[in-house]
């Protein structure tokens, strides 16, 4: 029996994932010979190797894709690696019906950093979060089994906490406007202790901006009992400062967060290097500053003795 016959057998049993070690044992050949056989079948498009030592069968309907869709092989790959995981960020938002378009990259949250995977036309990005096992998830059916997906409330916190992986706060606010329909205030309060407090402050501010007031009220009470500092909307900006109103809302302070265009959801952090509507970017500001600068006086010509 060769490797082609072996993968036909496991496909008949409903499996589409195998390891090179399993193939070598089943065929009674060395690991080097099994890898060579895998390479030949991969060149023919019958299998794909999303991870070293791990292969997936590619049915005819996915040959143009060059691999199985990520949600169909990631659960088996994570089981093979022995890692806790969940489908998160924009990929989870799509499952909850809050994505305007299908994300170009499949986003998976793991306990530690891992390099991204490219399998045919399928791209998988990994995001590190230490308490992955505690984050609330749901199981979503796929044609090959189930995949673990973060709940809508947990997804909202992740979108804010990893906003740079989601296209920035403008994109996050747009997604939250639709995701709020799948969230209750109690869900947010239950998920809040699993994330840093500044995430809850930023999330509350964005939910207020998209007018999800009914959802955000319980979170506002939860934050008011704990927050002692204002935080900038953009975590790369200034350091936090104490709240001016103890016990009040600590996620909105015009000295730290300025909304120039609420309808367009343009956010910027007030500061000397901020960029936003009504303020030129760095290059333009430098150019305008040069234009407004008075001309230097010309030195008087030297006269010879």
User: Whose CA is closest to 127, among 180, 90, 73, 96?
Assistant: 90
Domain covering 1-65, topology? Arc Repressor Mutant, subunit A (1.10.10)
- Dihedral through CA 276, CA 281, CA 286, CA 288, nearest 10? -60
Secondary structure, 3-state, the chain: CCHHHHHHHHHHCCCCEEEHHHHHHHHCCCHHHHHHHHHHHHHCCCEEEEECCEEEECCHHHCCCCCCCHHHHHHHHHHHHCCCCEECHHHHHHHCCCCCCCCCCEEEEECCCCCCEEECCEEEEEEECCCHHHCCEEEEEECCEEEEEECHHHHHHHHHHCHHHHCCHHHHHHHHHHHHHHCCHHHHHHHHHHCCHHHHHHHHHHHHHCCCHHHHHHHHHHHHCCCCEECCCCCCCCCCEECCCCCCCCCCCCCCEEEEECCCCEEEECCCCCCECCECCHHHHHHHHHHHCCCCCCCCCCCCC
Predicted confidence at residue 23, as pLDDT, reads: 87
User: Whose CA is closest to 230, among 207, 252, 204?
Assistant: 252
Residue 105 near residue 71, CB atoms below 8 Å: no
Q: In the chain, what is the straight-line distance between the N-terminal and C-terminal CA atoms, in Å?
A: 103
Which mean pLDDT values do the consecutive 10-residue runs of the chain (305 residues) have?
84 84 88 90 89 88 91 92 95 89 90 92 94 95 92 96 91 93 94 94 91 89 85 69 51 38 36 33 44 54 56
Phi and psi for 9 in degrees, rounded to 5? Answer: -65, -45
CA 181 remoteness from chain centre: 20
CA distance 269 to 271: 6
CA distance 163 to 174: 12
CA distance 141 to 31: 34
Name the pTM for this structure: 0.75
Predicted confidence at residue 272, as pLDDT, reads: 30
* Extents of the domains making up the chain: 1-65, 69-150, 167-271
Predicted confidence at residue 224, as pLDDT, reads: 87
């Amino acid at each position: 029996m060769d490797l082609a016959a072996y993968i036909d057998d496991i496909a008949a049993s409903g499996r589409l994932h195998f390891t090179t070690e399993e193939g070598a044992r089943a065929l009674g050949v060395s690991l080097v010979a099994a890898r060579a056989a895998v390479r030949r079948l991969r060149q023919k498009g019958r299998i794909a190797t999303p991870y070293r030592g791990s292969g997936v069968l590619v049915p005819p309907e996915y040959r143009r894709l060059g691999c199985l869709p990520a949600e169909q092989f990631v659960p088996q790959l994570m089981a093979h690696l022995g890692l806790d995981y969940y489908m998160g960020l924009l990929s989870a938002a799509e499952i909850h019906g809050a994505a305007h378009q299908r994300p170009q990259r499949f986003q998976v949250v793991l306990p530690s950093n891992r390099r991204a995977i490219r399998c045919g036309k399928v791209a998988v990005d990994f995001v590190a979060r230490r308490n992955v096992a505690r984050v609330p998830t749901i199981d979503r059916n796929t044609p090959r089994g189930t995949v673990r997906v973060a709940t809508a409330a947990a997804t909202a916190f992740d979108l804010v906490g990893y906003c740079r992986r989601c296209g920035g706060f403008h994109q996050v606010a747009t997604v939250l406007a639709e995701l709020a329909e799948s969230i209750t205030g109690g869900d947010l309060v239950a998920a809040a202790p699993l994330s840093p407090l500044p995430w809850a402050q930023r999330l509350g501010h964005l939910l207020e901006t998209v007018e999800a007031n009914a959802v955000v009220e319980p979170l506002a009470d939860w934050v008011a009992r704990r927050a002692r500092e204002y935080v900038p909307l953009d975590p790369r900006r200034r350091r936090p400062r104490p709240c001016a109103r103890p016990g009040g809302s600590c996620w909105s302070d015009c000295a730290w967060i300025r909304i120039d265009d609420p309808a367009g959801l343009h956010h910027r952090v007030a500061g000397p290097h901020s960029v936003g509507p009504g303020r030129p970017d760095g290059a333009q500001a430098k150019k305008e500053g040069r234009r407004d600068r008075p001309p230097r006086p010309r030195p008087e010509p030297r006269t010879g003795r």
